Amino acid sequence: EVQLQESGPGLVKPSQSLSLTCSVTGYSITSNYWGWIRKFPGNKMEWMGYISYSGSTSYNPSLKSRISITRDTSKNQFFLQLNSVTTEDTATYYCASSFRRVWVYWGQGVMVTVSS
Amino acid sequence: DIQMTQSPPSLSASLGDKVTITCQASQNINKYIAWYQQKPGKAPRLLIRYTSTLESGTPSRFSGSGSGRDYSFSISNVESEDIASYYCLQYDNLPWTFGGGTKLELK
């Protein structure tokens, strides 16, 4: 079974970068698509971007200038970096895997607060 | 971006009721809509894809329908384990976009 687990700091200061890791077991990240989705306080959900089996990426245009998704295939991990964060980036961040275009498997999520 | 308008934001039901949630897209999404269930502190769980295709393990009391811009998701015979929030997701066009969610509570 595919399992995903997010890790990273729960508190980030404004203007700094948010960096998260998603560790995947049970499936190789060199297949399918692997993405990041966040849920804001108030429950709005936003797809942030993905990295494909080949390493290509696609990002939500709302974040395009601030986001980077990369991977380490040797560790079966992929990463999120979001630059110049503000308090509006406070959210629970999920990593997920897409099978046939739908986000099927999700991590448990990590809550990230942006605050000084 | 395609906007997904989900309603109602909250819903109160008794055990055994049938409840329906709707999502309207800002444009035709060609049936590429999925429905998720999320319980507090848990990851979203995919219940239905492509409007009405139940995922493995999704109970048959869940169903979906619709076409074009208008879609619905129903739970017949609500059970206590169904108390959760539900979200629609359109995956016809990037960026994928979610509805605002519906919180199902027990009456």
Residue A47 near residue A38, CB atoms below 8 Å: no
Q: B interface mutation test: which of A5, A22, A43, A67 has the most B CBs within 10 A?
A: A43
Residues paired with B6 in a beta bridge? B23
Task: Report d(CA B21, CA B65) in Å as an integer.
Answer: 11
CB B73 within 8 A of CB B86: yes
pLDDT on residue A30: 97
* B19-to-B5, B7, B13, B77, B99 alpha-carbon distances in Å: 17, 12, 7, 8, 17
Q: Residue A102: which of B1, B87, B91 has the nearest Cβ?
A: B91
- CA trace torsion A64, A69, A70, A73 (10° rounding): -140
Average pLDDT over residues A34-50: 96
Structure tokens at A9: 């700091």
One digit per residue, the tens of pLDDT, for chain B of length 107 reads 999 999 999 999 999 999 999 999 999 999 999 999 999 999 999 999 999 999 999 999 999 999 999 999 999 999 999 999 999 999 999 999 999 999 999 99
* C-alpha span between A108 and A94 (Å, rounded): 7
Look at residue B103 in the predicted model and tell me its pLDDT.
97
Contact assignment for A43 to B94 by CB distance below 8 Å: no
Please say whether the beta carbons of B73 and B93 come within 8 A.
Answer: no
pLDDT digits (tens, 9 = 90+) for A2-22: 999 999 999 999 999 999 999
A109 contacts in chain B (CB < 8 Å): 43
What does the alpha-carbon distance between residue B87 and residue B70 come to, in Å, rounded to a whole number? 15
Per-residue pLDDT, A64: 74
Mean pLDDT of A72-91: 98
Of A8, A9, A80, A89, the residue nearest A41 (C-alpha): A89
Calculate mean pLDDT across residues A54-81: 96
Residue of B nearest to A45 (CA): B98
